Amino acid sequence: MTYKFIPKYVKDIIPYPPGKPIEEVERELGIKNSVKIASNENPLGTSPRAILGIKKALKDLNRYPDGSAFYLKNKLSAIHGISPESIVIGNGSNELIELIIRTFIQPGDEAVISDPSFLIYSITVKASGGTSTIIKLKDDYSYDIKGILKAINKRTRLIFISNPNNPTGTILTRKDYEWLIKRVPGHVVIVDDAAYREFVQSGDYPDGIDFIRWKDRNLIVLRTFSKLYGLAGLRIGYGVTTPELAGYIERVRQPFNVNSLAQTAAIAALDDKAFIKKTLANNKAGLAYLYRMLDRMNISFIPTQTNFFLIRVAPFMSANQAFESLLRKGVIVRDMTSYGLGGYIRINVGTPSENRKFIKEFSEILKNRL
C-alpha cells in the first residue's frame, strides 16, 4: 500500500546528506584510526569546562530543563550588551532556522537563499510549504546583493545569509551588509547565520549583533555552540534579534526545547577562554599548513574565514571519486556534489596529525591519478 495523502512539498524534499559516523565507516571498510574532517566539528574535542558543568548537572536529569533558559540568556545578554528578551535559545541553531521559518513563512510565502549555501535553509522552507528563490553567488563566491534585493517581492518573508558562508568560507563584507540591510523592505526579515563567526580573521566582517543593537532592523543573528565550543552533540545555539521578533519565535517553540545539560554546558563553555584560544590557534596554524601543502601540490582551494574550506579536485577526479578514495584510506571528507559542486570536496581543519594524514593520503591518490 502506498500512502496517497502526503503533501507534495514534503514528497519533493531531498533529504540532507549527513556525514557518516566514523564507527560505521570503519566497520564497513574494515579499517581503524580513521579521521573525520567532514562536518566542521571541533577537532580538539569539547570545552573541558563544559564537561565539568555537565558532570555536575547529571544528578538533576529527573527535572525538566529551565524552559526560559534564564541563566544562559542573562549571560549572553551581558556578553552582547543586549536585553535577555532579544535572545532565543534553540536545540542547535538548526532548530532556530526551523522555528524562524515556521514563524514567518506560511504556504505560498518565499525565502531568498543563495547558492551554494547551507542546504538546510531551502529544505526547511520547503517543509513549511514555502518556496525559495535561489540567487547564485558571484564568480568570486561573494553574495550577489543586488540579485538578492531584486528577488524580493510581496510574498518574500525571509532572506538567509550564511556569514561566513558554508560551504565557501567567504564573507559578506560590512560594506555590502550595510548596503543590503538599508534597502531590504520592512516585510522581509534577514537571517544572518553566523555559525563560524568566531573563526573570522578579516577586518571587513560585520557583526550582525551590532546592527540589532544600534539600528533596530528586522534582523535575526544566529550563533551556535557546535563549532568553536565543541558541543555539536549536545545541540544548542541561539538567536539574537529585536524583543518583538524574539517574542514571536518564542510562541512557536516547544516549552522545553533545550535540554538541561546543553544549557549548563553552554554557560560554562562561554567562560572557557583557554579552550577558545587553543581552538582558534589550532585553526589558524592548521589552515596555514594545509594551504602551504596544497599550494605545493598545485591544488587550488578557496581561502576561508572559517574552520573549513573547499578544495578543487577537478580536473584530476570528481568530488565523489576523491571522497571514495579518501574514505578507503580512512579520511572522511565532504563530497560537495549535493551542493552542485561536483569538482570540490570540503574539509575542516583537524588536529596537526589529522591534517598531515589528509595531505599524505590525498597526495598519494593524486600521484596515482597523474
Whole-angstrom Cα distance, residue 165 to residue 144? 13
Q: Which stretch binds ligand PLP (CB under 6 A): 87-95, 153-161, 211-219, 256-264?
A: 87-95
If the CB atoms of residues 211 and 339 are measured against ligand PLP, the closer one turns out to be 339
Q: Which stretch binds ligand PLP (CB under 6 A): 126-134, 175-183, 184-192, 225-233?
A: 225-233
CA nearest to 216, candidates 83, 72, 94: 83
CA nearest to 327, candidates 17, 23, 36: 36
Residue nearest to ligand PLP (CB): 92
Q: Which stretch binds ligand PLP (CB under 6 A): 2-10, 42-50, 221-229, 331-339?
A: 221-229
CB-based burial label for 245 (10 Å; 0-12, 13-18, 19+) = buried
If the CB atoms of residues 193 and 272 are measured against ligand PLP, the closer one turns out to be 193
Count of residues interacting with ligand PLP (CB under 6 A): 14
Residue carrying C-alpha cell 556525514: 19
CB-based burial label for 192 (10 Å; 0-12, 13-18, 19+) = buried
CA nearest to 357, candidates 334, 319, 327: 327
Q: Which stretch binds ligand PLP (CB under 6 A): 1-9, 143-151, 220-228, 270-278?
A: 220-228
If the CB atoms of residues 156 and 165 are measured against ligand PLP, the closer one turns out to be 165
Is residue 47 within 8 Å of 272, Cβ to Cβ? Answer: yes
From the list 224, 263, 304, 305, which residue makes contact with ligand PLP (rule: CB under 6 A)?
Answer: 224
**92 interacts with ligand PLP by CB under 6 A:** yes
Strands 131-136 and 237-240: unpaired
If the CB atoms of residues 110 and 193 are measured against ligand PLP, the closer one turns out to be 193
**299 interacts with ligand PLP by CB under 6 A:** no
If the CB atoms of residues 234 and 317 are measured against ligand PLP, the closer one turns out to be 234
Is residue 307 within 8 Å of 351, Cβ to Cβ? Answer: no
The overall longest dimension of the chain from CA atoms, in Å, is 60
Give the amino acid at 182: K
If the CB atoms of residues 93 and 325 are measured against ligand PLP, the closer one turns out to be 93
**226 interacts with ligand PLP by CB under 6 A:** yes
Q: Which of residues 227-266 bind ligand PLP (CB under 6 A)?
A: 227, 232, 237
Whole-angstrom Cα distance, residue 257 to residue 230? 20
Q: Which of residues 106-165 bind ligand PLP (CB under 6 A)?
A: 118, 162
From the list 46, 132, 166, 282, which residue makes contact with ligand PLP (rule: CB under 6 A)?
Answer: 166
Q: Which stretch binds ligand PLP (CB under 6 A): 48-56, 175-183, 224-232, 315-323?
A: 224-232
Q: Which of residues 189-208 bind ligand PLP (CB under 6 A)?
A: 193, 195
Give the amino acid at 333: V
Taking the complex as a whole, the smallest distance from the CB of residue 173 to ligand PLP amounts, in Å, to: 18
DSSP 99-168: HHHHHH--TT-EEEEEESS-HHHHHHHHHTT-EEEEEEPPTTS---HHHHHHT--TTEEEEEEESSPTTT
Taking the complex as a whole, the smallest distance from the CB of residue 229 to ligand PLP amounts, in Å, to: 10
Taking the complex as a whole, the smallest distance from the CB of residue 232 to ligand PLP amounts, in Å, to: 5
Burial 63-93 (b: 16+ CB within 10 A, else e): eebbeebeebbebbbeebebebebbbbbbbb
CB-based burial label for 277 (10 Å; 0-12, 13-18, 19+) = exposed
Taking the complex as a whole, the smallest distance from the CB of residue 368 to ligand PLP amounts, in Å, to: 32
Q: Which of residues 5-64 bind ligand PLP (CB under 6 A)?
A: 40
Taking the complex as a whole, the smallest distance from the CB of residue 31 to ligand PLP amounts, in Å, to: 26
* Residues contributing to the site for ligand PLP (CB under 6 A): 40, 92-94, 118, 162, 166, 193, 195, 224, 226-227, 232, 237
